[in-house]
Structure 1
Amino acid sequence: MDSRLQDLSSPSHQFDAAIAFESLPDAYLILNHRYEILLANARYLDLTGQSLCDLQGKSILDVNQFGPAEQREARRAWLIGVLRDLSPGESKWSPLFRYEMPERRDARSDGEASNESRVPRYWKIKASQLGARHGQGGTIALRVSEVTERVSDYERDQRERAKLRSQAQLRQLLADEAKAQLREHQERFQIAMAFSQLGAWELDPATGAIECTDQCKSNLGLTPDALLTEQRLFGEVVHPEDRGRLRDAMHHALAAHDHFEVDFRIGWASGAVRWILVRGVGRFLPDGTLSTVIGFTLDITSRKEAELEQREIAASEKRAREHSERLAMAMDHFVTTVSHELRSPLSAIMSWTDLLQRAADPSHLARATGVISRNARQLSHMVDDLLDSGAIVTGKLSVNLQPVDLGALAGIVVEDMRMHAEAKGLRLIADDLTSAMVLADEGRMKQVVWNLVSNAVKFTAQGTIELSVRADGERVELAVRDTGLGLDGESLERVFERFQQFGAEGSGRVAGLGLGLWLVKNLVDLHRGTITAESRGPGQGATFRVRLPAYR
């Protein structure tokens, strides 16, 4: 095509070259060496909406002056630079040029040009230097390619990409904000958990593994790097006495698809015992299978200790009230008993004294003196017990400790009591009275032995009473066994209380002030000894054992 254009003046080729030039699918301009337009093909004229007469003879630098000044200046600078420097046969492509051209006439309803309605269009220009002819400068072919649709597609694609990038950036921004909020909430949650000393945990029923926070491990007395399993929790961490209760509560709650709440004890490495509250709930699959158990732990040691202390105080107050009530009832019983016990011997003494005064029968003298003497001794013992009771309560009772042979002392008391026991039909056995020295107040120790033996005689209707004294290393034991009424569990706990008397149901009233065993207990304490009561139950008899330090 270029060779035919170079020979455009030749008559033999003029027609064919013109037709070929007009038929080119691309827009072309032919310039002379002064950059004036010589030819423009149909495609170019259609592209720009101009006629050939509008263009011929005009400089390429003066046509198509559309768009802002900076755009026009950019096109002019490129054309001048390229057209001046082109070498024969050389071609150069321009950058993308923007033309804000008026709308096509056929697209306007008013049929007139409008300066206000312009359409942006994009062109690229290829400049090619054609050969010189007849000593004149060569011609220049300008190929003008409109790339508006391609640019529009590109810009649209770029806009879509930008939109997608914006949406992606927006999504990323929203995700980052959500993550930041989540981190902030987690940090607040962790701070709240740490402040409240709550520890979170999660149990995998399939493996028995327990994932828990550092606070949870701290609550359970474990180090942060310790591994916790269900087996270790129940086998090592939880107090042995609380394991069954915790396991049962968990199993029952999970079986009922309910939550559980249990407090239990643990032992820290420091040896301290702590109280832990655990709460948990199971999470189940749609088919009802247990998938996991989650919950938290809380150290409630202070609260639990205060609760236990309050319980103990309440129980102590209850015991004190009950004890006070028993003492009040016992005091009432004691007053009644004292009145009756004192009245009986006094009545007997007064009756026999009046009889002696009215009748001088010598046959009554011996019997009267015996009755008066026996009741006087009984009154003397009662008065002594009352006085000793007052001295013990006020802390004024004292003992004078001297070496005493407890076996010999017990033998003397047995002989004094033998006639009274045999008169009641009882066998008093004292075959095992070992000689054993103790530090004791002889008079007070006789009072101890006498009270124990007389108490056995009083509560034994038939059978035997056995007294023994044995040395056992650093201790000496005196034991009084009987086959009498015996004692139940409650009576054994209270048998040494003041004003207490215990007899079998339906056995009737038992004489006495209810001070004997209480006095014995306090006298034994003053001798730095101990006394215990034993019985297999009502009707099985009883055994009282006094243990004193042996004298060396």
Structure 2
Amino acid sequence: MDSRHQEPSSPTRQFDAAAAFEALPEAYLILNHRYEILLANARYLHLTGQSAVDLLGKSILDVNQFGSSEQREARRAWLTTALRELSTGESKWSPLFRYEMPGHAGAGGESETRLPRYWTIKASLLPARDGQASAIALRVSEVTERVSDYERDQRERAKLRSQAQLRRLLADEARAQLREQQERFQIAMTFSQLGAWELDPVTGAIDCTDQCKLNLGLGLNAELTAARLFDEIVHPEDRARLRDAMNQALAAHDHFEVDYRVGWANGSVRWILVRGVGRFLPDGTLSSIIGFTLDITSRKEAELEQREIAASEKRMREHSERLAMAMDHFVTTVSHELRSPLSAIMSWTDLLQRAADPSHLARATSVISRNARQLSHMVDDLLDSGAIVTGKLSVNLQPVDLGALAGIIAEDMRMHAEAKGLRLIADDLASATVLADEGRMKQVVWNLVSNAVKFSPQGTVELSVRADAECVEVAVRDTGLGLDRESMERIFERFQQFGADGSGRVAGLGLGLWLVKNLVDLHGGTVTAESPGPGQGATFRVRLPAYR
């Protein structure tokens, strides 16, 4: 992506209202609430033959004292009434005022001549902005030529009452009204920052206003085509969306409205809203596409911010709901897991108390001992879980031979694995030293091996330790139930248990692998899970920095 689509790095280009005011084709004055002149554009100064120094700061009632006293009084009376009664957004038009403007002195030194000129005044109350008081705009239009034309037309109409002359006069009036509407439209477009455009579907050329070019980040002399718009100006991620919206609307002979991003030359990214509609010939052929552009960057950024806040709140709610469900599941699991060994212990204890047969003693003590160890493991896991959550679990780091430690655990687990008909392989146990807490490392390897035995109905469980110059890896592979993709993503979460189908309940608290991950993290290592899929076994790898 080129630099035109990078994130904003400089202030947004501001609309130059002062320059637009100065360039208006009609004469304008801006007054404050005391009717004092604040601004006068170039057209007004040219019309009255005055300079800004002659006008600024003076009351509108005291300047331009041309003509007879009756003419001046009529103008003053209208201004006083109109300005006092103006309300926001309202405009008032004056009647036709006659001014006898000073002319040039005669060649013989005679007094200067007085030239009659006709003006109309339009007063508008502008809305207040940024806490400032409302201002008043006066548009002064000289209609001397129009009045002269009108009087001449009147004389000609009096002489010639033909229908053709009347039609010509009506056409002139219509054109005058059209010019007035066009002027109002141009002023409205300038102050609203709307850009207008028209696209020729045959040549791809786009004829657009200056404001449209400013919205797109182009210079006023830049040429715009459909190819440049879609290939350079519109953000790459928004081009297909804009094309599709336009094509669908044109196919349905309907209008379209799309917002998209453009990159300005200063590196900022702006949001543009475009509205358009196709113009068609009687035979249905598309003749042109016309529309408007509007810079909506501020609105869009606020909309995206609100959308992100809503998405964040949704994620937080979902996370809270998952925690609540996990806690409910945990309470249910703990209740069930504690009840089973306790029931066995209580049953065999009752049996020993009621029966004096010595043959029951060995079996009873074996069952009681096994279930007591199971309870002890669960209590240890719960205590470790609480210590990890509160940040109180610590490790005593010392050099530990992982190969020797894994061999001891393999021998301890071998009888349990063989009782299930599994083959426990521990032939590849390299001697490798890491800096670790020996008790916690035993807990990590024991949980991984016991987990493999638990989820392997048949086949093998393989335990290996390998090392290189930088890392020591403990791997536990089994040929058991395996894991699907969803289970792989959540396997190390607390209170998570996955059965053969990835969702069924199995024995245990769902803390084993979570404890493994947290203990490995405390040692500066990593743990990962791999599985080709359900029914194809799984491999867990623990990697720790080698001790030097």
Bigger relative contact order, structure 1 or 2 (CA pairs below 8 A, ≥6 apart): 2
Q: Name the aligned partner's letter for residue 183 of structure 2.
A: R
Distance, in Å, in 1 between the alignment partners of 2:462 and 2:397 is 27
Of residues 227, 235, 238, the one that matches 1:239 is: 235
Map of 1:419-498 to 2, 5 A cutoff?
A: 419-471=415-467, 474-498=470-494
Structure 2 SS opposite 1:497: coil
Q: CA deviation at 1:484?
A: 2.2
Task: Assess if the C-alpha contact under 8 Å between 2:190 and 2:211 holds in 1.
Answer: no
Question: In the TM superposition, what whole-angstrom CA distance separates every residue of 1:399-420 from its partner, at most 9, and x where no partner exists?
Answer: 2333333344333333322222
Of residues 367, 381, 387, the one that matches 1:385 is: 381
Q: CA deviation at 1:170?
A: 11
Q: Are positions 1:326 and 2:322 aligned together?
A: yes
Task: Assess if the C-alpha contact under 8 Å between 2:422 and 2:461 holds in 1.
Answer: yes
Distance, in Å, in 1 between the alignment partners of 2:363 and 2:180 is 111
Map of 1:250-289 to 2, 5 A cutoff?
A: 250-269=246-265, 272-289=268-285
Q: Name the aligned partner's letter for residue 211 of structure 1.
A: D
The corresponding residue for 2:311 is 315
Q: Are positions 1:203 and 2:217 aligned together?
A: no
Q: Are positions 1:190 and 2:190 aligned together?
A: yes
The corresponding residue for 1:347 is 343
- Compared with structure 1, are the counterparts of its residues 176 and 294 closer, same or farther at alpha carbon in structure 2 (3 Å cutoff)? closer
Q: Name the aligned partner's letter for residue 286 of structure 1.
A: P
Distance, in Å, in 2 between the alignment partners of 1:510 and 1:385 is 17
Distance, in Å, in 2 between the alignment partners of 1:551 and 1:162 is 115
Please report the RMSD computed on the Cα atoms of aligned residues, expressed in angstroms. Answer: 3.4
Q: Name the aligned partner's letter for residue 384 of structure 2.
A: D
The corresponding residue for 1:125 is none
Distance, in Å, in 2 between the alignment partners of 1:358 and 1:256 is 90
- Compared with structure 1, are the counterparts of its residues 250 and 396 closer, same or farther at alpha carbon in structure 2 (3 Å cutoff)? same
Of residues 409, 412, 432, the one that matches 1:416 is: 412
Which one is further off, 470-479 or 342-351? 470-479
- Compared with structure 1, are the counterparts of its residues 467 and 359 closer, same or farther at alpha carbon in structure 2 (3 Å cutoff)? same
Structure 1 SS opposite 2:524: coil
- Compared with structure 1, are the counterparts of its residues 520 and 214 closer, same or farther at alpha carbon in structure 2 (3 Å cutoff)? farther
Question: In the TM superposition, what whole-angstrom CA distance separates every residue of 1:363-404 from its partner, at most 9, and x where no partner exists?
Answer: 434333322222121111100011111112222122233333
Of residues 225, 228, 247, the one that matches 1:229 is: 225
Distance, in Å, in 1 between the alignment partners of 2:223 and 2:404 is 71
Q: Name the aligned partner's letter for residue 457 of structure 1.
A: V
Structure 2 SS opposite 1:291: strand
The corresponding residue for 2:394 is 398
Q: Name the aligned partner's letter for residue 526 of structure 2.
A: T
Map of 1:49-64 to 2, 5 A cutoff?
A: none
Task: Assess if the C-alpha contact under 8 Å between 2:189 and 2:195 holds in 1.
Answer: no
- Compared with structure 1, are the counterparts of its residues 363 and 540 closer, same or farther at alpha carbon in structure 2 (3 Å cutoff)? same
Map of 1:111-126 to 2, 5 A cutoff?
A: none
Which one is further off, 387-396 or 404-413? 404-413
The corresponding residue for 2:135 is none
Identity among equivalent positions (%) equals 84
Q: Are positions 1:501 and 2:483 aligned together?
A: no
Distance, in Å, in 1 between the alignment partners of 2:367 and 2:271 is 69
Q: Name the aligned partner's letter for residue 545 of structure 1.
A: R
- Compared with structure 1, are the counterparts of its residues 322 and 362 closer, same or farther at alpha carbon in structure 2 (3 Å cutoff)? same
The corresponding residue for 2:364 is 368
Which one is further off, 216-225 or 247-256? 216-225
Question: In the TM superposition, what whole-angstrom CA distance separates every residue of 1:410-449 from its partner, at most 9, and x where no partner exists?
Answer: 3333332222222212223334444444333222222222
The corresponding residue for 2:212 is 216
- Stretches of structure 1 lacking an aligned partner (at least 5 in a row): 1-158
- Compared with structure 1, are the counterparts of its residues 184 and 258 closer, same or farther at alpha carbon in structure 2 (3 Å cutoff)? closer
Distance, in Å, in 1 between the alignment partners of 2:462 and 2:498 is 20
Q: Are positions 1:337 and 2:333 aligned together?
A: yes
- Compared with structure 1, are the counterparts of its residues 160 and 300 closer, same or farther at alpha carbon in structure 2 (3 Å cutoff)? closer
Structure 2 SS opposite 1:369: helix
Map of 1:152-167 to 2, 5 A cutoff?
A: none
Q: Name the aligned partner's letter for residue 285 of structure 1.
A: L
Distance, in Å, in 2 between the alignment partners of 1:222 and 1:481 is 63
Distance, in Å, in 2 between the alignment partners of 1:452 and 1:272 is 53
Structure 2 SS opposite 1:293: strand
Structure 2 SS opposite 1:392: helix
Q: Are positions 1:292 and 2:265 aligned together?
A: no
- Compared with structure 1, are the counterparts of its residues 342 and 178 closer, same or farther at alpha carbon in structure 2 (3 Å cutoff)? closer
- Compared with structure 1, are the counterparts of its residues 313 and 437 closer, same or farther at alpha carbon in structure 2 (3 Å cutoff)? farther
- Compared with structure 1, are the counterparts of its residues 212 and 460 closer, same or farther at alpha carbon in structure 2 (3 Å cutoff)? farther
Map of 1:74-93 to 2, 5 A cutoff?
A: none
Task: Assess if the C-alpha contact under 8 Å between 2:280 and 2:288 holds in 1.
Answer: yes
Of residues 279, 300, 303, the one that matches 1:304 is: 300
- Compared with structure 1, are the counterparts of its residues 185 and 215 closer, same or farther at alpha carbon in structure 2 (3 Å cutoff)? closer
Structure 1 SS opposite 2:202: coil
- Compared with structure 1, are the counterparts of its residues 530 and 506 closer, same or farther at alpha carbon in structure 2 (3 Å cutoff)? closer
Distance, in Å, in 2 between the alignment partners of 1:363 and 1:482 is 38
- Compared with structure 1, are the counterparts of its residues 192 and 240 closer, same or farther at alpha carbon in structure 2 (3 Å cutoff)? closer
TM-score, normalised with respect to structure 1: 0.62
Distance, in Å, in 2 between the alignment partners of 1:475 and 1:301 is 52
Q: Name the aligned partner's letter for residue 192 of structure 1.
A: S
- Stretches of structure 2 lacking an aligned partner (at least 5 in a row): 1-154
Map of 1:6-21 to 2, 5 A cutoff?
A: none
Q: CA deviation at 1:301?
A: 3.8
Distance, in Å, in 2 between the alignment partners of 1:484 and 1:227 is 68
Structure 2 SS opposite 1:479: strand
Q: CA deviation at 1:293?
A: 1.4
Question: In the TM superposition, what whole-angstrom CA distance separates every residue of 1:149-189 from its partner, at most 9, and x where no partner exists?
Answer: xxxxxxxxxx869989x999999898678646633431232
Structure 2 SS opposite 1:400: coil
Q: CA deviation at 1:250?
A: 1.4
Distance, in Å, in 2 between the alignment partners of 1:346 and 1:161 is 118
- Compared with structure 1, are the counterparts of its residues 190 and 334 closer, same or farther at alpha carbon in structure 2 (3 Å cutoff)? same
Question: How many aligned residue pairs are there?
Answer: 389
The corresponding residue for 1:529 is 525
Q: Name the aligned partner's letter for residue 192 of structure 2.
A: A
Question: In the TM superposition, what whole-angstrom CA distance separates every residue of 1:223-279 from its partner, at most 9, and x where no partner exists?
Answer: 444433222333233333332222222111111111122233444555555443332
Q: CA deviation at 1:512?
A: 0.4
Which one is further off, 424-433 or 254-263? 424-433
Question: In the TM superposition, what whole-angstrom CA distance separates every residue of 1:3-29 from its partner, at most 9, and x where no partner exists?
Answer: xxxxxxxxxxxxxxxxxxxxxxxxxxx
